[in-house]
Amino acid sequence: MFGQKIKKVAVLMGGISSEREISFLSGNGVMQALKKLGYQTQAIDVTDDLAKWIKSLTDFKPDVVFNALHGRFGEDGGVQGILNALKIPYTHSGVMASSMGMDKQMTRLIATQIGIPVAKGGLKTKSEFEKMKLPLVVKPNAEGSSCGVQIIKTEKDKKQALQNWPENQKQLVEKYIDGRELSVAVLNGKALGSVELCVKKGWYDYQNKYAEGAVEHLIPAPVSMEQRKKLHLYAEKIHQFLNCRGVSRSDFRLSPTGRIYFLEINTNPGMTPTSLVPDMARLKKMTYEDIVNQLILGASCD
């Protein structure tokens, strides 16, 4: 059940991003799985006290680190650089793939270059956004879990977005694509499956993502065989082109005309009770523990 010589696994959780609470949910789930698998494990709360948590980590002397951090520092290459320097193998993607995947505009540009359609848009200043025609979606360029995402359909929405605009910063603004919300998980370069997200009230925002029963997961996504193949191909292409490791999850929009648009990639997707990756893995008859074990066995440094 162990990987060769892998006995001790530290789980990094918490972090300093807006997704700290979600990281604890992922991390605690992973801890339980590791114990069931027979690994010795220890939780490491990653805070802004760098020396303290690094000491906790090195005192434990893990064979592998499971990175259960989400958002800034956890999946943008920051913590990956530290683990590379410490020469401790870790799960998920390395520095470059993590930093590029966290940058939504960068991944949009890469997707376009490799033939994957994206919604029209780009990084915009406040004044540029003010002149754009509705409907639109405004996103921070480097946040996850839909943090800070705003759907702008009315002038009232636009006024609110202008009031909330970060001082002297650009944000990602895209043309709003009416349609269906789809996601594809990729493990070790191959698609696990697809899911359609049917939100019972509102849209797939932070609150709905993590509220039990707020979103129905249709697995596999009820799309045509041709659309499913295309979704899997796009998710695998962006995973492989960024040189991601372990698991990733790519999000898409399917328009009423049947056109697929890539939204973003998550190089360290959630492992909470309502997360999508464990759900999609069941299509391959994989348990939560199976995914965790595969990520441990594939852990490495850059």
Pick the catalytic residue: 20, 72, 180, 249?
249
Token pair for 78: 């920051």
Q: CA 227 to CA 258: how far, in whole Å?
A: 8
Whether 289 is a known active-site residue: answer no
Pick the catalytic residue: 264, 268, 275, 288?
264
How would you label 53-62 residue by residue, b for 16+ Cβ within 10 Å and e otherwise?
bbeebeebeb
Whether 208 is a known active-site residue: answer no
Report the length, in residues, of the chain: 302
How would you label 119-148 residue by residue, b for 16+ Cβ within 10 Å and e otherwise?
bebeebeeeebeeeeeebbbbbbbbbbbbb
235: left (phi over 0), alpha (psi -120 to 50) or beta: alpha
Pick the catalytic residue: 15, 63, 251, 293?
251
Q: Which residues pair with 122 in a beta bridge?
A: 173
Q: CA 87 to CA 11: how far, in whole Å?
A: 16
Question: What Å distances lie between residue 134 and 131, 170, 173, 174, CA to CA?
Answer: 10, 18, 11, 10
Whether 29 is a known active-site residue: answer no
Q: CA 150 to CA 152: how far, in whole Å?
A: 6
The count of C-alpha atoms lying within 13 angstroms of the C-alpha of 281, restricted to the half-sphere facing its C-beta, is: 21
The residue among 172, 177, 187 whose CA lies nearest residue 276 is 187
Pick the catalytic residue: 208, 266, 268, 275?
266
Pick the catalytic residue: 39, 210, 234, 288?
210
Whether 108 is a known active-site residue: answer no
Pick the catalytic residue: 14, 15, 17, 19?
19
* In contact, 277 and 247? CB cutoff 8 Å: yes
Whether 270 is a known active-site residue: answer yes
Whether 19 is a known active-site residue: answer yes
Residues with a known catalytic role: 19, 145, 210, 249, 251, 264, 266, 270
